Amino acid sequence: MIFAVLASAWLMTFAKWFPIQGIDGVFLKDYKTLIRAHVDFVLMALFCLAFYAIKIPLPILACWCVVIGGMTNPGVFVIAAFDTHFWEKPVWKVYTALSFAITTIGFVWVGITILAYAL
């Protein structure tokens, strides 16, 4: 996720600093949505680092759900930034629903584990 943060930052920076006639707007359709992906990658990376830093034993499967969601949720925005019809396509609706479900399961599971540990 941290590498995705860096890659998206460089991509956005170069897209703004060095616009290339005929390429900009052709591949990267929605700059603001790429910013959303960047912010989402940052937040997901911070959550993963925070869960590791608290040193509470967490279920491995819950951690995998959080990590998978940490990559696929921002991935929704990445794909949407390059495809203006993203939100209309059934395959991406299924991908988004699965991504959100896996992420939610992981975060709820981790949250319940932390709460149980605290009590």
Q: Is the dihedral of CA 52, 74, 97, 92 positive or negative?
A: negative
Whether 21 shows a pLDDT value over 70: the answer reads no
**pLDDT top residue among 43 and 19:** 43
pLDDT tens, residue by residue, 27-83: 667 778 888 999 999 999 999 999 999 999 999 999 999 999 999 999 999 888 888
Band the pLDDT of 95: cuts 50, 70, 90.
Answer: very high
Query: Nearest CA to 29 among 71, 73, 77, 75?
Result: 77
Q: Is residue 24's pLDDT more than 70?
A: no
